[in-house]
Amino acid sequence: MRAQGCGLPALLLLLLRLLPLAPGPLPGRAGPGALSELRVRVRLPDGQVTEESLQADSGADCISLELRKVDGTLITLTADFRQEVKIFRALILGELERGQSQFQALCFVTRLHRNEIIPSESMAKLRQKNPKTVRQAEEVRGLEQLNTDVAVNFSKGAQLSPHIHNICSEAKEAIYTRVEDVKFWLEKGVDGSMFEVLPQSADLPDLQRCKLCLDRWKPCICSYSLSIEWYPCMLKYCKSRDASGKVSSYKCGIRSCQKGYRFDYYVPQKQLCLWDEET
């Protein structure tokens, strides 16, 4: 399978920062010049500024967006327009003093709707006049809560989207989706054997939110929240009038949005969900 442009290089950067430099070849860049990258500065809700990277590959018809939170977590959103799939990945730094490994990776896969994000060809054409400008989204979209109660088998996931293989390789045991998304994909002919429904509160009456669970070894429902701070969610159109007075419209910019997501999913042990504690 061809390695596609969306989502690869930044993971590499993270690994270079986190791990001692490993010998061996670096993954090659894919395909001809259809790849583009834009780096924008974005203000976070606490006032700090972070850099966001937006990549578009119009050949593969995908977009990838990546930002680092103040605590070091790397958030990636990949939109695969061809397969109507979007993939969120969080690489969460472990707290070494708590005996956690270097990072924990989570992947959430859900349906990509039309018009959620601008098309990849428009994204590939985005430029900014002043790269130092600190941006804030023009529109705040409401928090979306997703019950991601189905696990996706990593080795079979490429059928759903070829990007799962690249993006979720650190999260092989932690790829989640929702029943309603699975229904949509099954209707499109995707192989159902890659999905496994996880235990629900209805099956396990003791199943609590991890926040309320005191025993580190008990199963519970974990919550993970993330926010995409700035993304081009719509195209703006302007009107022009030619010499004869005929009006026509053309794409003249983008509207930017911010959107938060909360994923609720089953973990077999509360210790896999240590960020979800009372604050």
Ligand X SMILES: *[C@@H]1O[C@H](CO)[C@@H](O)[C@H](O)[C@H]1NC(C)=O
Q: Which residues bind ligand X (CB under 6 A)?
A: 153, 155-156
Taking the least distance from each CB to ligand X, the nearer of 155 and 248 is 155
Taking the least distance from each CB to ligand X, the nearer of 191 and 215 is 191
Closest-approach residue to ligand X (CB) = 153
Q: From the CB of 157, what's the least distance to ligand X, in Å?
A: 9
Q: From the CB of 223, what's the least distance to ligand X, in Å?
A: 23
Taking the least distance from each CB to ligand X, the nearer of 138 and 196 is 196
Q: From the CB of 204, what's the least distance to ligand X, in Å?
A: 20
Taking the least distance from each CB to ligand X, the nearer of 75 and 272 is 272
Q: From the CB of 88, what's the least distance to ligand X, in Å?
A: 21
List the 139-147 sheet strands across, edge first: 139-147, 247-267, 220-241, 208-209
